[in-house]
Structure 1
Amino acid sequence: MEQRLALPRQRSSSLILLGFALLCVASLVLGGGPDYGQLVATLDQPLSRLRWIVGDISEVAFYKHELPALGLLLGASLAHWAQQRGHRWQGFAICYGTGLWPWLIISSLLGLLLSHALWGWTLDGGAWQPTFVAFVSLPAAMVLLFGGGWRVAINGALLGAVLVTPASLLLVNYLCYPLQLPVVIGNVSGMALASVLAFILCKRFPALVRDGQRPEVAATASQPDYGLVWTLRRVLADFSEAPFFGNELASLGLLLGVLLAYVLAPSAPAYGSQLVLQMVAGQGLASLVGVLFWRRQWKERGWYPTYIPIVSIVPAAVLTLGGSWQVVVASAVLGALIAPPLAVAISRRLPGYMHGYIGNVLSMAISTLGIVPLVGLLAGGNP
Structure 2
Amino acid sequence: MTSAPSTRSRSGSLPLWPLIAAVCLVAVLLWNGSLRASVPLLDVIASAASEPNFYSSALSGLGLLAGGALAHWLQTRRQTAQGFAQACGSGMWVPMLASALLGVAVSALVWGWTLSPGTWQPLFAPFVSVSPTIVLMFGSDIPTVLTGGVLGGLVTPGLSVLGASVICPRLGLAPVVGVTAGMALAAVLAFTVCRYLPWLPAPLHLRRPLEPAPTTAPQKRGPVWVLRRSLADFSEAQFFGSEWASLGLIAGALFAYLLNPAAPAYGSGLLPQILAAQAVTAVVAVTVWRGCWARRPFYPTFVPVVSVAPACVLAYGGSLPSVLAGAVLGAVLSPPLAAAISARLPADFHPFIGNVAAMAVATASIVPALQLLPGI
TM-score w.r.t. the length of structure 2 is 0.87
User: Paired residue for 1:310?
Assistant: 305
SS of the counterpart of 1:207?
coil
User: 1:344 aligned to 339, 346, 362, which one?
Assistant: 339
Q: Corresponding residue for 1:210?
A: 201
CA contact under 8 A between 1:56 and 1:64: conserved in structure 2? yes
- Select which of 78, 81, 92 maps to 2:73: 81
- 1:88-122 deviation per Cα after TM superposition (whole angstroms, max 9, x unaligned): 10100111321100110000000000011100010
What is the CA–CA distance in structure 2 between the aligned matches of 1:91 and 1:83, rounded to whole Å? Answer: 8
Aligned twin of 2:145: 153
- Residue type of the alignment partner of 1:13: P
Name 2:269's counterpart in structure 1: 274
Q: Which runs of 5+ in 1 are unaligned?
A: 21-43
Distance 1:2 1:319 in 2: 41
Provide the rounded CA distance (Å) in 2 between the counterparts of 1:157 and 1:186: 21
Question: Is the contact made by 1:189 and 1:365 (CA closer than 8 Å) also made in structure 2?
Answer: yes
Matching residue of 1:5: 12
8 Å Cα contact 1:321/1:376 also seen in 2: no
- Amino acid of the structure 1 residue aligned with 2:103: G
Q: Which amino acid aligns with 2:91?
A: G
Q: Is the 8 A contact 2:137 2:203 kept in 1?
A: no
Query: Structure 1 residues 95 and 166 mapped into 2: Cα distance closer, same or farther (>3 Å)?
Result: same
Greater displacement, 290-299 / 371-380: 371-380
**Structure with more of its chain in helix, by fraction:** 1
Partner of 1:198: 190
CA contact (8 A) 2:285 2:301 kept: yes
Cα separation, 2, equivalents of 1:228 and 1:3: 33
Q: Distance in 2 between matches of 1:345 and 1:157?
A: 28
Q: Is the Cα contact below 8 Å between 1:17 and 1:74 reproduced in 2?
A: no
How far has the Cα of 1:249 moved from its partner? 0.4
Q: 1:257 aligns with which of 247, 252, 269?
A: 252
Task: Decide whether aligned partners of structure 1 residues 224 and 249 sit closer, same or farther in structure 2, where only a CA change above 3 A counts.
Answer: farther
The letter of the residue matching 2:17 is S
The 8 Å contact of residues 234 and 241 in structure 2, kept in 1 or not, is answered as yes
- Which residue of the partner structure matches residue 31 of structure 2? none
2:321 to 289, 312, 326: 326
CA distance in 1, matches of 2:128, 2:199: 20
Aligned to 1:281, what secondary structure does the other structure show? Answer: helix
| CA distance in structure 1 between the partners assigned to 2:219 and 2:242 by the alignment | 15
Count of matched residue pairs? 353
* Partner secondary structure for residue 63 of structure 1: coil
Distance 1:14-1:162 versus aligned 2 partners, 3 A rule: closer
Q: Which residue of 2 aligns with 1:24?
A: none
What do the CA deviations read for 1:284-312 (whole angstroms, capped 9, x no partner)?
A: 11010011111111111121101011111
Name the Cα RMSD after superposition. Answer: 2.7
Deviation at residue 201 of structure 1 after TM alignment: 1.4
* Structure 1 counterpart SS, 2:52: helix
Query: Residues 155-183 of structure 1, C-alpha deviation per residue, up to 9 Å, x if partnerless?
Result: 11111112111111122232012233211
Question: Larger deviation: 180-189 or 363-372?
Answer: 180-189
Q: Deviation per CA, 1:127-186: give whole Å up to 9, x if none.
A: 211111011101111111111111111111111112111111122232012233211011
CA distance in structure 1 between the aligned counterparts of 2:347 and 2:245, rounded to whole angstroms: 29
- Counterparts of 2:24 and 2:248, CA distance in 1: 17
Superposed displacement of residue 69, structure 1: 0.4
Residues 1-383 of structure 1 mapped to structure 2, 5 A cutoff = 5=12, 8-9=14-15, 11-13=16-18, 45-124=37-116, 126-203=118-195, 205-210=196-201, 225-381=220-376
2:355 and 2:89 map into 1 onto residues whose CA distance is 20
Aligned partner letter, 1:210:
P
Alpha-carbon separation, structure 2, partners of 1:361 and 1:330: 21
TM-superposition CA deviations, 1:246-274 (whole Å, max 9, x none) = 11000000011101111111001001111
Check whether the contact 2:103–2:150 (CA below 8 A) recurs between aligned residues.
Answer: yes
| 1-structure distance, mates of 2:10, 2:308 | 43
Q: Distance in 2 between matches of 1:14 and 1:100?
A: 16
Contact 1:334/1:371, CA 8 A, preserved across alignment: yes
Whole-Å separation in 2 of the counterparts to 1:130 and 1:17: 20
Aligned counterparts of 1:78 and 1:305: Cα–Cα separation in 2: 24
More deviation, 285-294/120-129: 120-129
Q: Judge conservation of contact 2:83–2:244 (CA < 8 Å) in 1.
A: yes
Distance in 2 separating the partners of 1:104 and 1:243: 10
TM-score, normalization by structure 1: 0.86
Name the CA distance, whole Å, in 1 between partners of 2:356 and 2:40.
30
Write the distance in 1 (CA, Å) between the matches of 2:192 and 2:285: 32
Which deviates the most, 49-58 or 357-366?
A: 49-58
Report the identity percentage.
44
Unaligned ranges ≥5, structure 2? 1-7, 26-35
Tell me the amino acid that sits aligned with residue 109 of structure 2: A
